[in-house]
Amino acid sequence: MKTRRLIALLLCLCMAAALFVGCGKKEAAVSDSGSADTKNEEKAPDNKNDKTSSEDNKADASSGDDTPSDTASSDEKPGDGAEATPSDLQIILPASSSDLQTLVPEGAFTIVDMTGREIVLNGPAKKIVALTASDCEIIYALGAGDLLVGRGEYCDYPAEVMNVPSVQSGYDTNIEQIIALSPDVLVMSTMAQTEEQIKQLESAGIKVVVSDAQNIEGVYTAIKLLGLLTGKSEEAKKIISDMTTTFTDAIFASEGDGTKSIYFEISPLQWGLWAAGAGTFMDEICNMLGYNNAFADVQGWGEVSEEQVLARNPDYIVTISMYYGEGPTPVEEIASRAGWSGVSAVANGRILNLQNNELSRPAPRLAEGAKLLVEFLNK
């Protein structure tokens, strides 16, 4: 996988050039009468969380990773010296400088959201309601948490977001609660709110912006979009750069050679087993690191049986089940399941619990999740 390491460095340089040249153009356009380019950012949605975290399910209803990842595991380790091709690098870097702004009258600017809708703003948003947990995370990561006047009821990270007034979200979105908070902008996903609700909000003078990441590149797009919305484009560039570096470091550190499999358990046995399949962030990162998803034949989040897990005999198990301090931990529960002692992951003690959405929420912490996963896999 020497080729993969070389390509990683090359693409990181390309990424840096795109960020500092492309984003610089956009910021100059805002300061110089709000002009900018007209290309739309590539579309991409948010990921759905597990049954055991039903809060995230409702709040991040847009998180259903519906688009399969473009990445795949590589059979080469850095150092093999084979001819490099783009597919040798299992990492998604930011799209170059697909523009999120278009030409508008002086004193205002337009952003293009992740559904291609153009939204004219008089300036960076001053009061925001964000309905999804991922968007709240991104806004705080940008240093714009003080702009939040409302959040979806299941937004839970960082801790200070819990001090922000909550509104009903997901399929139970309460428009009246949102309007009562008098935001300039509502940031939402695509799956839960209806066109009628959007029109109702816009009639009340609230701009509606859709952020909808399905894959890592989509997360970069969402960060850039919210950076423009909040006047934090420089901070957005820094976050994307840091994420890319962390992903690249994780690839270099990974010992994956395409022969080992990981079972990502989204819901525990007591609620009915669900696994992360193709098109999820877990699947994308798994392939990026040189491992196989034990349920790559399942699309998105899918219900599976004990018999299927036992038959596939995964080398590693990663669960995102919550632990509330009573009874066995999620790792202990899996290890003690009747009939599971022969599963390779159980027999070798290779079970990891990541219960803080590091691998399941389309936000900057995905990169940290990849780092934690590599540390576990390399033990």
pLDDT tens figures, 323-347: 988 999 999 999 999 999 999 999 9
pTM: 0.75
Beta strand 316-319 pairing with 261-267: parallel
Tokens of 263: 């079972």
pLDDT tens figures, 75-85: 333 334 343 33
CATH number given to 37-69+98-247: 3.40.50.1980
pLDDT tens figures, 198-244: 899 999 999 999 999 999 999 999 999 999 999 999 999 999 999 99
Please state which CATH class domain 255-377 belongs to: alpha beta
Residue 311 above 60 pLDDT? yes
Residue 49 above 50 pLDDT? no
Give domain limits for the chain.
37-69+98-247, 255-377
pLDDT cut 70: percent of the chain above it: 71
pLDDT at 270: 92
Residue 265 above 90 pLDDT? yes
Residue 87 above 50 pLDDT? no
37-69+98-247 and 255-377 have identical folds: yes
